[in-house]
């Protein structure tokens, strides 16, 4: 086995970092897919490491509010392409509550869900950001999915003042 000097290790690290930066710049989707597949294979071969990593993540998420905020912020900006400022602005626009009901939090005391049109970015891990509609509590988010399914089958004539009326109006206004 060949033993590298510190200078050789540093040079190797610099070459690898440069290669990764180039790959990420030139072929971002392919590179992310490559990394995801590599990580999946690694954790499949080492399940004890995956379990330990999950345990550490859960502990940090539960015990560290700043870490939890970072994870939430990352999910919003990554998956829904909505910055924390845009989220706060949308929440203020909605009066600090769900777009369809008076609830002020999502599931299990978490923040409201970012609702988006599944017609636009169906099947993609990330949305384009242009199809974000509003912020919903978990209950309304799940109910709205069912309403959208029914509306694809035909029309619905809801009674004014009901949740269904607000939901249909919400969907019409965001179309």
The helix/strand/coil state of 70 is helix
What local confidence, expressed as pLDDT, does residue 124 receive?
67
**Interacting residues of 175 by C-beta distance below 8 A, sequence separation 6+:** none
Eight-state DSSP code of residue 95: T
Q: Which of 156, 79, 83 is nearest to 125 (CA)?
A: 79
Per-residue pLDDT of the chain (175 residues; tens, 9 = 90+): 778 899 998 999 999 899 888 888 888 888 888 888 988 898 889 999 888 988 998 899 889 888 887 887 777 777 888 887 888 899 899 999 999 999 988 776 677 888 888 778 766 667 787 888 999 999 999 999 999 989 989 888 899 999 999 999 999 988 7
Checking DSSP bridges between strand 113-116 and strand 132-136, what pairing results, if any? Answer: antiparallel
The helix/strand/coil state of 132 is strand
Cβ of 74: how many Cβ atoms within 10 Å?
A: 10
């Amino acid at each position: 086995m060949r033993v590298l000097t510190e200078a050789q290790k540093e040079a190797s690290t610099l070459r690898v970092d440069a290669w990764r930066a180039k790959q990420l710049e030139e072929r971002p989707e392919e590179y992310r897919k490559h990394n995801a597949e590599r990580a999946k294979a690694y954790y499949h071969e080492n399940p004890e490491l995956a379990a330990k990593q999950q345990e550490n993540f859960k502990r940090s998420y539960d015990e560290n509010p700043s870490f939890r905020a970072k994870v939430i912020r990352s999910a919003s900006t990554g998956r829904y392409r909505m910055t924390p400022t845009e989220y706060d602005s949308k929440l203020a626009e909605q009066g600090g509550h769900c777009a369809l009901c008076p609830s002020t939090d999502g599931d299990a005391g978490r923040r409201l869900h970012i609702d988006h049109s599944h017609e636009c970015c169906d099947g993609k891990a990330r949305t384009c950001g242009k199809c974000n509609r509003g912020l919903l509590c978990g209950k309304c988010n799940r109910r709205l999915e069912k309403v959208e399914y029914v509306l694809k089958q035909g029309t619905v004539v809801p009674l004014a003042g009901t949740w269904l009326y607000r939901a249909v109006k919400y969907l019409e206004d965001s179309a």
